[in-house]
């Protein structure tokens, strides 16, 4: 499914949320890069859990270097020792997450080719069966691997911080408050999320 044009996006937000419409005009076109290497996206999302963007980039770079010029695959990750994974900066907990992720891909518990026919909640349920993969990680996957346009990751701290700044809130909004705001963005919750992230960091968000 192609990404909506800026014209379509602006028409929607002009009618539903004038504050976000102003951000969109300032930031330029919506660019969501799709990464079809589903396993790699989930590896990067696991690395990024509960650490700063800068730390995540550093660990991801060292993690990628373990595969000498090729991409991480379930088979290759299974072949790495815990010591090798720890040496790139992964916690012992995240090493277990990586191992279970690769095992679930190898045994068919995760079947990416079926996901085009599943709704968001079905995919989230499938992914959160993986040890260490919570709803946030599954939502990043929906956004960056499947380019679903109706994802609102209410637990994402970057989104909540951006919403606080954008709407001049006194305190960090609760997930419920973000969810209520996101109703104005439907069915383009991903678009609103992406522009909120861009407002905080003009680098294009990608996985």
What does the DSSP assignment read for 105-159? Answer: HHTTSS-GGGGGGS-HHHHHHHHTTSTT--HHHHHHHHHHTS--S----TT-HHH
Over the chain (207 residues), the average pLDDT of each successive run of 10 is 86 97 92 88 89 88 91 95 96 96 94 90 94 91 93 94 95 96 97 93 64
Amino acid 142: pLDDT: 94
pTM for the full model? 0.84
CB contact at 8 A, 16 and 180: no
Q: Which residues make up the CATH 1.10.1670.40 domain(s) of the chain?
A: 6-33+151-200
- CATH T-level assignment (fold) for domain 6-33+151-200: Endonuclease Iii, domain 2 (1.10.1670)
Amino acid 45: pLDDT: 87
CA 100 to chain centroid: 19
Superfamily of domain 38-144: Hypothetical protein; domain 2 (1.10.340.30)
Q: Which residues make up the CATH 1.10.340.30 domain(s) of the chain?
A: 38-144
Amino acid 125: pLDDT: 94
């Amino acid at each position: 499914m192609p990404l909506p044009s800026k014209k379509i996006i602006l028409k929607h937000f002009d009618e539903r949320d004038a504050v976000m419409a102003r951000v969109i005009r300032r930031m330029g076109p919506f660019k969501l890069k799709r990464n079809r290497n589903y396993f790699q996206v989930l590896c990067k999302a696991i690395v990024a859990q509960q650490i700063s963007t800068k730390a995540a980039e550093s660990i991801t770079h060292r993690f990628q270097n373990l595969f000498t010029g090729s991409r991480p695959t379930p088979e290759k990750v299974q072949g790495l020792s815990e010591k090798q994974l720890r040496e790139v900066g992964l916690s012992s907990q995240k090493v277990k997450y990586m191992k279970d992720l690769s095992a679930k891909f190898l045994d068919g518990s995760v079947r990416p080719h079926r996901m085009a026919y599943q709704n968001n909640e079905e995919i989230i349920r499938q992914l959160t069966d993986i040890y260490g993969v919570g709803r946030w990680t599954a939502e990043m996957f929906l956004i960056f691997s499947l380019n679903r346009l109706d994802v609102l990751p209410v637990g994402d701290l970057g989104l909540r911080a951006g919403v606080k700044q954008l709407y001049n809130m006194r305190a960090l909004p609760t997930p419920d408050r973000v969810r209520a705001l996101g109703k104005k963005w439907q069915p383009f919750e991903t678009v609103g999320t992406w522009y909120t992230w861009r407002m905080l960091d003009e680098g294009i968000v990608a996985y």
